[in-house]
Amino acid sequence: MDRKYAVIEFTTEKSVELVPKSWLCENISKCLWPYDLRGSNLTNAIKKTISPGKDWVLFPARLLRSLDDYEHGKKLAEKAEFTSDLESYSFDPETEFRV
């Protein structure tokens, strides 16, 4: 099954982000990134999985994990900043989003 989102590492910058899978290209070794979007506009673009624009920049990237849930993906991206072991991370919305 094809997943909606991807947690990726930008290999040159050594940063991790959650992006729509539609932003990945060249056999998942590159990711298009919207330089003109920031803050909530960028968050909304990712959540709504908007299509890449013609002026977006292509960066080297490495796929860490594919998934369907945005909130789970954000948690994994945060975790990936500090570890490479995303497979052992289990997401439980009941405990992770308790107030």
Q: What is the pTM of this model?
A: 0.79
Q: What is the pLDDT of residue 86?
A: 52
pLDDT, averaged across the chain = 85
Answer for the pair 5, 73: CB distance below 8 angstroms, yes or no: yes
Q: What is the pLDDT of residue 8?
A: 96
Confidence tier at 81 by pLDDT (50, 70, 90): confident
Confidence tier at 42 by pLDDT (50, 70, 90): very high
Q: If you ran DSSP here, which 8-state letter would residue 96 be given?
A: H
